[in-house]
Amino acid sequence: MTRETWTNLAALAVLAGVPLWAYVADEPFIITLATRAAIFALAGVGLNLALGLGGLVSLGHAAFFGIGGYAMGILASHAQAYAPLAEWPFLIEGTKSMPVIWLVAVVASALAALAIGALSLRTSGVYFIMITLAFGQMIYYFAISWPAYGGEDGLSIYVRNGFPGLNTLDPIQFFGLCFAVLCAVLVLMWLVQNSAFGLALSAARQNETRVLSVGMVPYRLRLVAFVISGAITGLAGALFADLNRFVSPTMLSWQMSGEIMIFIIIGGVGRLFGPVIGAMVFILLEHTLGGLSEFWHVYLGALLLGIVLFAKGGVIGAIAGREKAHD
């Protein structure tokens, strides 16, 4: 096994081990922190497909994170108020069931990514960054000014949604659920990276002309990647809203987009486990430095500068070196 594989396994062991220890030591807050890390990691894994493999620097992924969050908030708020979402043309009721909420979150954020991607991917480089940011801000302000679902104040849910066979109110069980989703998506991403699609998407990042001249259309590859990417980040959003039992426009803000990108940069752009390690480091810093000073973002900024200037491969790059060419 390569050093990168060992690093990845170690990251997973820490992410699973810390909450288990916290469970034994009766420290539920630590379990919540680990759950947060797992969910952030999932959001980052989503963005990493577009950013790392596809080279699409999206500064609007909070849109999908927030849409996933609102999918949960809207469905659950209707369910807890016993008020259907729509009665015509057919009855649509709210739900407190996680699998249904996840499905809605994934479909809604995939559709949003399809619309945003179809337009944004006609541009590239700095224009792409700006146009994804602009779409993100549009949705953010829409959420703020839409009073039906809390507007600026957001939506609170009294009781966490349910998953068949689990007591999701128990922190360790909810963590286990989020961790399992993360692992499943990581396996999926690992397959995608090594698939025909992954090879072509990565080649389109490196040399668009090459991909065109072997008869493939880069736009199509990127759009598909963007949709899958948005859908995964949307799923993470639904879990994040459920963790907090609260969703607000903050989840849609451009700072959120930036944070998701930061996870990837810290861990290693394009590395399968980059966002996982990045999210863990981020939560650790937020918890430890945040206790020292409320201006802990200064230290985060310094860390980012250091990584961008001196260790472009992030944590994984520093430990495992240049990515091995797979064959």
User: Is position 215 an interface residue for another protein (rule: CB under 8 A)?
Assistant: yes
- Of 115, 210, 258, 288, the one binding another protein by CB under 8 A: 210
Find out whether 40 and 279 touch, Cβ atoms under 8 Å: yes
Category of 245 on φ-ψ map: left (φ > 0), alpha (ψ -120 to 50) or beta: left
- Judged by CB under 8 A, the stretch of 170-178, 209-217, 240-248, 300-308 that binds another protein is 209-217
- Of 203, 285, 304, 318, the one binding another protein by CB under 8 A: 203
- Of 5, 207, 255, 293, the one binding another protein by CB under 8 A: 207
Q: Which is nearer to another protein, 55 or 154 (CB)?
A: 55
Closest CA to 240 of 97, 105, 56: 105
User: Is position 33 an interface residue for another protein (rule: CB under 8 A)?
Assistant: no
Determine how many CB atoms are found less than 10 A away from the CB of residue 13: 10
Category of 55 on φ-ψ map: left (φ > 0), alpha (ψ -120 to 50) or beta: left
User: Is position 199 an interface residue for another protein (rule: CB under 8 A)?
Assistant: yes
DSSP labels, 126-155: HHHHHHHHHHHHHHHHHHHT-GGGTGGG-E
Which amino acid is residue 251, in one-letter code?
M
Find out whether 278 and 263 touch, Cβ atoms under 8 Å: yes
To the nearest whole angstrom, how small is the minimum distance from the Cβ of residue 210 to another protein?
5
Residues touching another protein: how many (CB under 8 A)?
Answer: 28
- Of 196, 291, 292, 309, the one binding another protein by CB under 8 A: 196
- Of 25, 88, 91, 209, the one binding another protein by CB under 8 A: 209
Can you tell me the distance from the alpha carbon of 290 to that of 163, in angstroms, rounded to the nearest whole number? Answer: 33
Binding-residue pattern over the window 277 to 306 for another protein, x denoting contact by CB under 8 A: ------------------------------
> What are the residues binding another protein (CB under 8 A)?
191-192, 194-200, 202-203, 206-207, 209-217, 221, 224, 323, 325-327
